[in-house]
Amino acid sequence: MTSTLAHLAALAPSQAKRALPMSPILYFLIAFALFVVLLGVTWSFRGAANKVRGGENRHPGGHH
């Protein structure tokens, strides 16, 4: 096993490094845009539980 690891370690520097297909900034922008879209979807469901159960003060005097 040690000889295998030593062989792989010797090959690692000789391998060509793979370049990213896009700039790292583009990865950030895509991830940020996806985050904003998912945030918008989450935000669109705010208050949905109140609409289903019939409003804020369905049970006056209690908070359950």
Calculate mean pLDDT across residues 27-49: 94
Asked whether the predicted pLDDT for residue 18 surpasses 80, the reply is yes
Angle (CA) 33-35-39 rounded to 5° is 115
Both structure tokens of 46: 């705010």
- Could you give phi then psi for residue 62, rounded to 5 degrees? -135, 165
Q: Taking the C-alpha atoms of 7, 10, 16 and 21 in order, what is their torsion angle to the nearest 10 degrees?
A: 70
- Per-residue DSSP letter, 23: -
What pLDDT score was predicted for residue 4? 76
7-16 pLDDT, tens per residue? 766 766 655 6
What pLDDT score was predicted for residue 44? 93
d(CA 30, CA 42): 18
